[in-house]
Chain A
Amino acid sequence: MPFREINSKMIEATVAPGQKLFSQRGAMLAYRGEVSFTPNIQGGQGGFASMIGRRVTGEATPLMTVEGSGTVMFGHGGHHIQVINLAGDTLYVEADRLLAFDGTLQQGTMFMGSQGGVMGMVRGQVTGQGLFTTTLKGHGAVAVMAHGGVIELPITPGRDVHVDPQAYVAHHGEVRNKLSTAVGWRDMVGRGSGEAFQLELSGNGAVYVQASEEKL
């Protein structure tokens, strides 16, 4: 795998000729060897149509292409970094949490409404994630940023995991997510426990949760 964790807030990536790497623009801290950084106007891969798609959906983050041969260190804003290895499955993550990912991964944009219908859209609004999210699919590694440490919780059939929408970072695998509400009369009169909305994840995979309820 091309990513090596130096400490909890820095990673080192190895690039070799013919291998591409995408990273958030400006996230490079240091590099060794002959490495070039090209701003990627398209904000990822997939050609012109995908670029339009990302622009329209607000999932466009300034990315850059990293090529050459050498090692590059990445880090951003003092955030904790979690490296996730994908083996053919799909990772769902917010575009602004992406620090770097393998060029071999297929990038896409998903409409929240397509999973969970209207509730999916409500979910996006409630969690402040908007109506769209970024997907990465294939074999390779992804470096994701989070505020505070990240814990990985496995999801297996019959063992649903509920996550605070603000602490949710990413998930992968065959996972269905829906917004569950536990809004009772106590919330209406302002005596809620602060846990009225939760993401209910079921299926087979894993979810990453950060130790904080702050957005990046």
Chain B
Amino acid sequence: MFRLQGSKTLAVDLTGDGVKAKNGSMVAYDGRMTFKKLSGGGEGLRGMVTRRLTGEQMTVMEVSGQGTCYFADRASEINLVALHGDKLYVEASNLLATDAGLRTGTTFTGLRGGASGNGLFTTTVEGTGQAAIMSDGAAVLLRVTPQYPLMVDPGAYIAHQGNLQQHFQAGVNFRTLMGEGSGEAFQIRFEGDGLVYVQPSERNTVGGDV
């Protein structure tokens, strides 16, 4: 029921069911809709504590009703992801909307998060259904297999799914310390079997400056 209207607008047809979307991202709708604020990071008191501690507080609203609702955010490109019981890891700022049936949570990412400019925590989406993620420019989908690990610039990483292990790798050498670095001092290394979404643009990161 998620469809793309152009590459930058997400249209969701609702027939009495609901969808979770980034707060304030609705641009238009027809039919009857109600908007209610939720908060990310899981449900209940535990979710609230998690949000406070992790700073990964994506404010989410639940949209329900009948008709078609259109979402867009700052003219970002939108990518649809179908989940079949697997887990999607995505930066909270890149998640636009998910099916109401999908569970969202927060996980610790370690050192990588600090370097990618997104904090130490990331959002997970789990279950069966569809999710829409945003990227600055059209994202490419790169496959990782056990034989072919993938290195990604922390600023260009937006999401990944599948059975992947991630390590943070640094290429700091003498030149970097002298201020003659190539601007590619840090990478995230993905190993295993899965998919990584990369955007053709880089957020401002610590790694990008050295």
**Interface residues on chain A, size class:** 20 to 34
Q: Is B29 within 8 A of A149, CB to CB?
A: no
- Collect the chain A residues with CB atoms within 8 Å of residue B35's CB: 182, 193-195
Q: Is the pair B36, A193 in contact by a Cβ cutoff of 8 Å?
A: yes
Chain B nearest CB: distance from A52 CB in Å?
A: 36
User: Quick check: is A61 within 8 A (CB to CB) of the other chain?
Assistant: no
B residues less than 8 Å from A148 (CB atoms): 8, 72, 74-75
A184-212 to B contact mask, C-beta < 8 Å, 1/0:
00100001111100000000000101111
Q: Which of A147, A159, A164, A214 contacts B26 (CB 8 A)?
A: A164
Bound Cα distance from A151 to B24, whole angstroms: 18
In the bound complex, residues from chain B placing their C-beta under 8 Å from that of A186 are: 36-37
- Do B73 and A213 have beta carbons less than 8 Å apart? yes
How many B residues face the partner with a CB closer than 8 A? 26
* A207 contacts B24, C-beta separation under 8 Å: no
- Set B33, B34, B74: member contacting A212, Cβ < 8 A: B74
Residue of A nearest to B27 (CB): A167
Q: With A and B bound together, what is the CA distance between A44 and B38 in angstroms?
A: 48
A195 lies within 8 A of B8 (CB) = no
Judge if A76 is at the interface, Cβ distance under 8 Å: no
Q: How far is the CA of A149 from the CA of B11 in the complex (A)?
A: 14
Interface residues of B in 96-141 (CB under 8 A from A): none
Tell me if A161 counts as interface (CB < 8 A to partner B).
yes
Whether A139 is near chain B, meaning CB under 8 Å from some CB there, is no
* In contact, A153 and B30 (Cβ under 8 angstroms): yes
Interface membership of A163, Cβ < 8 A: yes
Given A151-B70, A211-B75, residue A162 in contact with residue B8 (CB < 8 A): no
Closest-CB distance, B172 to chain A (whole angstroms): 36
* Residue on B nearest A8 in the bound complex, by CB: B6
Q: Within the complex, which residue of A151, A159, A182, A194 is in contact with B5, where a contact is CB–CB below 8 Å?
A: A151
Is B54 an interface position by the 8 A CB rule?
A: no
Q: In the complex the two chains form, is B23's CB within 8 Å of A163's CB?
A: no
Per-position binary interface string of chain B over residues 10-35, scored 1 when its CB falls under 8 Å from any chain A CB and 0 otherwise: 00000000000001111111110111
Determine if B61 is an interface residue (Cβ-Cβ < 8 Å): yes
B9 in contact (CB, < 8 A) = yes
Nearest chain B residue, comparing its CB with the CB of A214: B74
Query: Is there an interface contact between B37 and A163, defined as CB atoms closer than 8 Å?
Result: no
Known contacts being A148-B72, A149-B6, A212-B75, is A207 close to B28, with CB within 8 Å?
Answer: yes
Instruction: Check if B7 is an interface residue, CB within 8 A of chain A.
Output: yes
B74 near A162 (CB under 8 angstroms)?
A: no
Which of A162, A207, A212 interacts with B72 by CB under 8 Å? A212
Roughly how many angstroms separate A160 CA and B73 CA in the complex, as a whole number?
23
Q: How far is the CB of B56 from chain A (nearest CB, A)?
A: 18
Rounded to whole Å, the gap between the CB of A26 and the closest CB of chain B is 23
User: A195 touching B26 by the CB < 8 A rule?
Assistant: yes
Contacts of A207 in B (CB 8 A): 28
Q: Do A151 and B6 form a contact, CB below 8 Å, given A163-B28, A193-B61, A212-B75? A: yes
Tell me which residues across on chain B come within 8 A of A159, comparing CB atoms. Answer: 30-31
A residues apposed to B, CB below 8 Å? 80, 147-149, 151, 153, 159-164, 167, 182, 186, 191-195, 207, 209-214
**With contacts A211-B9, A212-B75 known, what are 17 further pairs, Cβ within 8 A?**
A148-B72, A149-B9, A151-B70, A164-B26, A186-B36, A186-B37, A191-B37, A193-B24, A193-B35, A194-B61, A195-B35, A209-B28, A212-B73, A213-B24, A213-B25, A213-B72, A213-B74
